[in-house]
Amino acid sequence: MVDLRSLEKQFLASHIKEGGTVCDFTMGNGHDTLYLSRAVGPRGKVYAFDVQERAVASTRKTLETGGAYDNYELILDSHANAANYVKGPICAGVFNLGYLPGSDKRVTTMVDSTLRAVQCAIGLLDDDGVVLICVYPGHAEGAAEGEALCDWLSGAYDRKEYCVGMFRILNSPDSPFFIAVEKR
């Protein structure tokens, strides 16, 4: 069976540079933030965003107990406002859409802010950078986000500048899938 998380890490690993700048646009419980911290090393920089204080606290604990470098900034704000915090180019950005794992599922990413955040993330990409977007279509807003992202990304960027691909398990339509946007 395909392990979606392992496949995502392979995409990321080929783009992340030691000492680079990366973003976790939906920090959740901090597992991607920790991975990114280790991947860019002590000279790198990680920006992580979430709108929930619970996510920031959980991520901070994950980083402190997981051996993260002191190279991260946890930001209690929407990923749609990333440009207010991240000024330089990024070599990678990660989105895990949906709701905070272990939460009551009432707070979820939303189509409008996600589209703005993804557009911002792509605009921040350095040459040979990547943005990975994991979509969870098993709930109504997740399905709407996936549809909106696929519709928009299929025609938004010139193939000569960006390669936009998707990995989806076709015989399981409610399973998570991811979209990769690579800058040439």
Beta strand 125-135 with 177-183: parallel, antiparallel or unpaired?
Answer: antiparallel
Strand partners, 23: 47, 93
Calculate the CA 177 to chain-centre distance.
Answer: 13
> Is there a contact between 121 and 25 (Cβ–Cβ < 8 Å)?
yes
Q: Tens digit of pLDDT per residue, the chain (184 long)?
A: 678 888 889 989 999 999 999 999 999 999 999 999 999 999 999 999 999 999 999 999 999 999 999 999 999 999 999 999 998 899 999 999 998 787 777 889 999 999 999 999 999 999 999 999 999 999 999 999 999 999 999 999 999 999 999 999 889 889 999 999 999 9
The CATH code for residues 4-183 is: 3.40.50.150
Residue among 20, 56, 55 at smallest CA distance from 37: 20
pTM over 0.85: yes
CA 95, CA 176: separation in Å to the nearest integer?
A: 12
Instruction: Specify the long-range contacts of residues 59-63, CB closer than 8 Å, at least 24 apart.
Output: 59/27, 59/28, 59/29, 59/30, 59/33, 60/30, 61/30, 62/29, 62/30, 62/31, 62/33, 62/34, 63/30, 63/33, 63/34, 63/37
Length of the chain: 184
